Chains A and B, each alone.
Chain A
Amino acid sequence: MKVRRILAAKSGGIISIRPEQTIREAITLLTKHNIGAVIVVVPGQERPVGIVSERDIIRRAATDEACFSDPVETIMTRELVTGMPQDDLYSVAHTMTERRFRHLPIMDEGRLVGIISIGDVLKAQRDAYRGEVDTREAQLLAGGEE
């Protein structure tokens, strides 16, 4: 199974923020859209410049109570690992688990086409597994009736 299968049912647009926008604005976006990370983009530039996650915000807020008016570029992760639609879900799950990040921006021919979360990956794997179990079960039950 490929990453593309997750992105296919996520056509509702990509939530992004500009580097100079505040951490408070990032929190508003995360809450409003019920997501765990927001991608940081510079208008006119195809490749995102970073990603800001809940964890980045909490880490900063733990030591700096006045951080919420700071720009997101002060806390964003700049070294982005990106995926592509053709990536295998299994490998992506492994990489995200091993390298401990929960959101993977997906690029296609130099363009950002979506973000998948570890939750999306787990759900896709669970559904694939459920589907297989269900199919086998249906065959077994039907076989018993014959």
Chain B
Amino acid sequence: MSELGTEANPLRVAIVGAGPTGFYAAEQLFKQKTYTVQVDLYERLPIPFGLVRYGVAPDHQKIKSVTKIFDRVARRPEFRFFGNVEIGATITVDDLKRHYHQIIFTTGAQTDRNLNIPGEDLKGSYAATDFVAWYNGHPDYRDLEFDLSVETAAVIGVGNVAVDVVRILSRTPEELARTDIADYALEALSKSNIREVYMLGRRGPAQAAFTTPEIKELGELDDAVVWSPREETELDPLSEESLAESADRATTRKVEIIQSYSEENPATDKTRRIILRFLISPVEFIGDEESHLASIRMVHNELYKTDAGTLRPRATDREETIAAGIAFRSIGYTGVPIPGVPFKESWGVILNQDGRVIEPETQEPMTGLYTAGWIKRGASGVIGTNKPDAAETVEAMIDDVAAGAVLQPEDPSAEAALALVAESEPHYFSYDDWLRLDEIEMERGAALGRPRLKFTSIEDMLAALEKETA
């Protein structure tokens, strides 16, 4: 047989998870010129793009334009997309090993970390990611119900996801109707009684993870005013010193914007209020007699400096309780294990060294298995951060091909992999299927003056493509 990575014997790679990192990894594999590579990209859902479709807020359409780059990757002849095929369920990792030389897991980080405080499981207490997936029309989350009949909501966390949730809760029905938010979510949010939304951060304004455009945008909503208590927006001496040392203009600007929200009683006829709170941590969710969230007991924090120079929160003895009927925790995502792939539970990532999956006992790389993106390093950064991350993994893969450290598949032909997919999931979706769905969704949206009207169930997607349902 001819040498691996040539026209006659191409390097066959399976990528598991069609979010941004899956596409970036494919892009990097096509970009290197040493070997001829063929990529099959597997996705649990029928359609591609992961968090670009189901995470990025519906009122941030411009961020979604990154899919144009992914689209260029997908149109290459060496690329195939297999949607509606779950690795670990429909097809196992061992199945893949029979058909590919290398496998990359890019499954992302899908769930919110817990607060680990009493009352967290009360009715009305939710993971922000569940809410985000719901309003974005994720098929697995469309049937969730959120009780929006209450007046006050609290979002725990000060990252950009927390800001998204605050914004979506605070927009008017008219504002939301211009987005591609799921139709059922538009309906539910239009009837929402929520008029006051807290955003709670355990550190100060200078340490908040949200970015400047996001926090500025909160102040520009049609019918919501942002307010923050002055004593919590003023920098403490440690933060002031650290900001002066770093001369970080982005953070300085961010703090200025936050401080502009602490004017007393701004004149406004807006009917909704967003309240930013800092240096405060929830310690207990308190329920009513029906075990429904009624209030949140919180402790005020002060900052201290660690050995390594980070400012961390420390609880004081000052407490405060606020009334809130619904809460969303948004304190960081964590990954979900894949059967047959070593996982580091405490950090929610696949056990790996620079992208090579590591066998826990021997601490040695497992031949042919790789990871990239959030499931490799944890949730952090913007979409594009996953590109250098994927590049690092692909570099390791190419080195391993040169060293001959690849899987020895029984039948690495593209036909054999296709046969396996077709047999395991007759209703698999190809990239052409997605392009057709994309067109239909945009047409349906255009009729309503919206960017698109999403299909939110797999049945509807199958029906739209006139694929027979089982």
Contacts and interface: CB of A to CB of B under 8 A. Distances in A.
Interface string A1-30: 111111111111100000000000000000
Nearest to B211: A132
Interface in A75-95: 81-88, 90-92, 94-95
A127 interface: yes
A95 B309 contact: yes
Count chain A CB atoms within 10 A of each CB in B246, B354, B380 and give the residue with the most.
Answer: B380
Nearest to B363: A13
B404 interface: no
Contact of A91 (B309, B376, B380, B389): B309
B308 A87 contact: yes
A104 B308 contact: yes
Interface stretch (B61-69, B83-91, B96-104): B61-69
A131 B381 contact: yes
A131 B384 contact: yes
A132 B386 CA distance: 10
A145 B65 CA distance: 10
A145 B242 CA distance: 42
B311 interface: yes
A2 B377 CA distance: 10
Interface residues of A, number: 44
B380 A1 contact: yes
A145 B68 CA distance: 10
A92 B377 contact: no
Given A87-B310, A128-B385, A132-B385, A138 B65 contact: yes
Contacts of A84: 306, 308
A142 B381 contact: no
B125 to A, nearest CB: 24
B353 A12 contact: yes
B180 to A, nearest CB: 15
A61 interface: no
A42 B384 CA distance: 42
Interface in A128-146: 128, 130-136, 138-139, 141-143, 145-146
B347 A139 contact: no
A92 to B, nearest CB: 5
Contacts of A135: 63, 66, 382-385
Interface in B277-314: 306-312
B347 A8 contact: yes
A11 B351 contact: yes
A139 B63 contact: yes
Contacts of B309: 87, 91-92, 94-95
| Chain B interface residue bracket vs A | 35 or more
Contacts of B310: 83, 86-88, 91-92
A69 to B, nearest CB: 29
A1 B353 contact: no
Count chain B CB atoms within 10 A of each CB in A12, A95, A104, A126 and give the residue with the most.
Answer: A12
Contacts of A87: 306, 308-310
A91 B308 contact: yes
Contacts of B388: 126-127, 130-131
A86 B380 CA distance: 13
Contact of A142 (B68, B242, B380, B384): B68
Interface in B42-93: 62-63, 65-66, 68-69
B349 interface: yes
Nearest to B209: A1
A139 B66 CA distance: 6
B344 interface: yes
Contacts of B312: 86
Contacts of A13: 363
Contacts of A83: 306-308, 310
Interface of A: 1-13, 81-88, 90-92, 94-95, 104, 126-128, 130-136, 138-139, 141-143, 145-146
Given A8-B378, A9-B377, A94-B246, 7 more contacts: A1-B381, A3-B308, A9-B352, A83-B310, A92-B309, A132-B381, A142-B68
Minimum-distance CB pairs A-B, first 3: A131-B385, A142-B65, A135-B384
